Structure 1
Amino acid sequence: MFDDLLPPLNEHNLPYPDTIHPIVVHFVIAMVLFAFLCDIIGYFSQNTRLYEVSWWNMLFATISIFIAIIFGQTEAGLAQPYDAVKPILNLHTLIGWSLSAILATITGWRFILRSRDPQKVPVSYLAVSLVLVGIVCFQVYLGDELVWVYGLHTVKVVEAIKEGTL
């Protein structure tokens, strides 16, 4: 019914040249990891200016993760996942949405800490940030598996799905 309103899909089964989700999500990954690194270095070196760098990275990572989710959901829907990939894709989706809530909560906590005393970051915050880094790393592993093992949005897999051989 609405098929004539949608743009045609290319060889990657996308309405645009290539996947956008990995591009945006790499910003999130880099900003979260860099924020944690700045906090750790700032904590041990007493260089409190790094806390400001960390704060801004967390803020922009929180905004960016929602953009990454929008493109991730769109691209997951267009991927036409086959049976073997569905459990990994579902787990990646669940963790992605959960990660957005976790990241927003930690960034909110960081805002409160920064408002109270921008010169200090408690060890409890660093511990929670380390858990966040662990979740991000696991999510990266799942995303890599979707592309490099299962081949979502690669030309050969898209062709195999269209031909019905996969």
Structure 2
Amino acid sequence: MFKYLPPLNEHNLPYPDTIHPIVVHFVIAMVLFAVLCDFIAYFTKNSRLYEVSWWNLAFATVSIFIAVIFGQVEAGLAEPYGNSNAILNIHTLLGWSLSGLVAAVTGWRYVIRSQSRPQLPIPYLVASVMLVGLVLFQTYLGDLLVWVYGLHSVPVVEATREGGVL
């Protein structure tokens, strides 16, 4: 069965480079921009920004599931060492949780949108701020995995293959 799988490259991946960071940066930008638009619309009473926010959340919801799928594949092919294993586990758990939370907030936003309310309720705005906090924490964990521990970077993959990293 394994002979039908593509060989792993110098990044320990079956494709040229990591895809998860590309998709996840798209999600991060859309969630942050959606919340920013909601707050600007709330204070300026510009209802067109609510539409911008809604569509950003809708596309972020679809995109986060794609990011989680590629994140699972790439986490499974990573060879974590030391503390990176614990950070990767937390990052994975929070990624799955965030996919559900983003979907729930988008659903809530859809209900509010379908009621044609002139303004968003305060509890929704509070939940949006909490969502931003979780997204920023998740981004921090991902940065640690890439920039501190170097998962899927060529030098770390080579050192792991040679037995230099435990």
Cross-structure match for 2:153: 154
Structure 1 gaps, min length 5: none
Report deviation, 1:81.
1.6
Cross-structure match for 1:70: 69
CA contact (8 A) 2:78 2:152 kept: yes
Matches within 5 A, 1:113-124: 113-124=112-123
CA contact (8 A) 1:89 1:146 kept: yes
Report deviation, 1:84.
2.6
CA contact (8 A) 1:92 1:139 kept: yes
What TM-score, normalized by structure 1, do the two folds share?
A: 0.97
For 1:60 and 1:18, the matched residues in 2 are separated by 24
CA contact (8 A) 1:52 1:118 kept: no
CA contact (8 A) 2:9 2:16 kept: yes
For 2:61 and 2:117, the matched residues in 1 are separated by 19
For 1:73 and 1:28, the matched residues in 2 are separated by 16
Report deviation, 1:119.
3.0
Matches within 5 A, 1:94-105: 94-105=93-104
Structure 2 gaps, min length 5: none
Identity level (%): 68
Report deviation, 1:120.
2.1
1:36-93 Cα offsets, whole Å, 9 max, x none, are 0000000000001000000000010010000000100000011122233110000000
Look up the equivalent residue of 2:149 and give its one-letter code.
Y
CA separation of 1:41/1:49 partners in 2, compared to 1, >3 Å: closer, same or farther?
Answer: same
Secondary structure in structure 1 of the residue aligned to 2:11: coil
What TM-score, normalized by structure 2, do the two folds share?
A: 0.97
Aligned length: 165
For 1:165 and 1:93, the matched residues in 2 are separated by 25
CA contact (8 A) 1:7 1:15 kept: yes
Moved over 2 A (4+): none
CA contact (8 A) 2:31 2:60 kept: yes
CA RMSD of aligned residues (A): 0.8
For 1:5 and 1:80, the matched residues in 2 are separated by 22
For 1:89 and 1:159, the matched residues in 2 are separated by 20
